[in-house]
Amino acid sequence: MAGSFSVSLPQVLQVGVGVGVCRYDLETSSGPYKLDLGNVLYAPLAFYDAPHQRHLVWGYLKELRTLPPPPSQCNKFVSSGCLSMPRALYLRAGKLHQVPIPELSLLRSGSAWRCPAGFSLSPEQPLAVPVGSEGGVDGQQLDVELVVRPPTSGSSSTRTVLLLDSWRPAGKGAAALVFDWATHRLSVVFDAHQHLEKWRDPTSELTAPKFAGLLGHAHHTLSGGVHTLNDEDGAEFNSYVDPEVPPVPDMNPAVPDWIRMRREEAGGVLDMQPGESLQLRLFIDASAVEIFTGTGQALCTRVYRGVANPNNASSDKLSLGTNLQLMAVGGACEVERFDVHKCNMAWLRGAKDAPLAPPINPEALAQWKAAGKASL
């Protein structure tokens, strides 16, 4: 691996040649190339799975929200820094090919919804995944398979959009996964309802502004102790900052601009051939979204859609279900497959052995209780 966000292809070539041949050939290598088209995959770790004769990669999924500096107790941000799904690496036609491991299909619960094959998707007829009570699926842990055939005409102005709609007020936090058939660019438009012009207009530019906010911890000036902060919806929450831990520095300014991950930009051009269908496999686990393409590329990001609340039904948004809608923009296309599976938890050791928060300093806990907080 060359850095946290990229891979030099010839290095993978050398590692996977055969038993006993594990060397880096930097003199003839090209790249580096981005390992992931998204904006949250960090510090990937690769290893060889000998029983299955495959190379696997895991990585951390960074937050796109502004978080208190570590080791602050982050309350609702307990999923910060969670691990990605394991992916297998292969070489196909001289290119790195990434696929989700087949074992992930074992997480499917048996509850699923499938779109009829050959469904004609038109701009006037978006396709929403029904809620469970209407023969669809409920849940925020999903495995989605999508295959869309290229449009027969008007491909210069046609887009296929999977809208990950939100349960939050005014649809805040929704995201549009947009595929442009003319450029073969797959992009994520964040806060989709607030930026309709970016994806509803088939001639609009999909890339984010050049100087969109960079990821990485900024310098903080918070003193040690309990602080009242605001989350992405403006609601207050309390956080503790350890006074003995220095501020976390910003990302190294020597890192080349092209390799930086940006809060408002995720996507890239897929290595598709003319006439090839769009093939996507999506894993959605609350805010974590991981996308694998039929071209062997991958995109990880975060989408903060909130939580479905059956007691908060309204006429303008779904209160249950998956809040997924498939749309066509600028022209019709045919859906070959659109399957949505509800997934079970991967943790199989029981609640008593579930992952816990890191140990809390006794003095920090005493200070928290003294401030009148019920719990961390």
Domain boundaries, the chain: 41-371
Torsion of CA 169, 170, 173, 178, to 10 degrees: 150
Alpha-helical (H) ranges within the chain are 9-15, 196-199, 362-370
Q: List strands edge to edge, sheet with 185-190.
A: 127-128, 324-329, 159-164, 175-180, 185-190, 267-269
> What is the predicted pLDDT for the residue at 6?
44
List Cβ neighbours of 264 (8 Å cut-off, separation of 6 or more). 190, 208, 209, 212, 213
Q: What is the DSSP string of 50-94?
A: GGGTEEEEEEEE--SS--PPTT-B-GGGTTTTPBPPPEEEEEETT
Give this prediction's pTM. Answer: 0.77
78 near 253, Cβ under 8 Å? no
> What is the predicted pLDDT for the residue at 243?
61
Residue 29 sits at the vertex; the CA angle it makes with 28 and 34, to the nearest 5 degrees, is 170
Q: What is the mean pLDDT of each run of 10 residues along the chain (376 residues)?
A: 38 42 70 86 90 93 71 58 90 90 91 92 91 89 95 76 92 94 94 90 70 39 62 60 53 52 82 94 94 96 82 49 93 94 78 49 54 41
> What is the predicted pLDDT for the residue at 229?
62
Q: Is domain 41-371 in CATH 3.40.50.620, yes or no?
A: no
Terminal Cα distance for the chain, rounded: 38
253 near 168, Cβ under 8 Å? no
